[in-house]
Amino acid sequence: MPKNFVLPTALKAYEGFRDPHVHIKKFQSMMFFNGASEPILCRDFPTFLDGDALLWFSKLPAGLISSFEELGRSFIDYFGASRIYVHGSDYQSTIKQGQHESLKDYMTWFSKATMEILNLSPEVHLHTLKSGLHPGKFQETIAVTKMKTLAEFREKADGQMEIEEL
């Protein structure tokens, strides 16, 4: 190991239950940021594994892997089924604000759900966000205002959330 090399501590060990692609990308980013070379990537990768993933690594036959690219590919192939299901944009239309749910809770839930959706257009995002509001004064205000951007909606929603919290 190079004398000045510092092993990153912010990366959570992979146990076999998250998206392996994300783990590999985070690992590479953190290691390259600290000046790691190809051999260091291979040598330090198991330090960021735990549970089933560490068991998988320990069972790899010696000499089977000759590069980090091969190690990463083997890792992704083995744990590919562990990838979390990502919803499509049509999933958004199923998210509705509950009758007694606060706007803050709805916005939080909606935001978390939409983070998983790849290539979500802002127009669709805004439309489904407004469509999911339960009937009431705020929903009427939104319908009358005819907002065109998420920023405009968020500004109105922030004001409404302050009112609800009072």
Go through 125-159 and write b for each residue having 16 or more CB atoms within 10 A of its CB, e for each that does not: bbebbeebbeeeebbeebeeeebeeeeebeeebee
- With bands split at pLDDT 50, 70 and 90, how would you rate the model's confidence at 3? confident
SS3 state of residue 23: helix
Percent of the chain with pLDDT over 70: 93
pLDDT, mean of residues 100-109: 91
Look at residue 13 and tell me whether its pLDDT is greater than 70: yes
Look at residue 71 and tell me whether its pLDDT is greater than 90: yes
From 49-63, 77-91, 106-120, the region with the lowest mean pLDDT: 77-91
**CA 151 remoteness from chain centre:** 22
Domains and CATH numbers, the chain: 20-82 (no CATH), 89-165 (1.10.1200)
pLDDT digit string (tens) for 114-155? 876 777 888 888 998 999 999 989 999 888 888 889 999 999
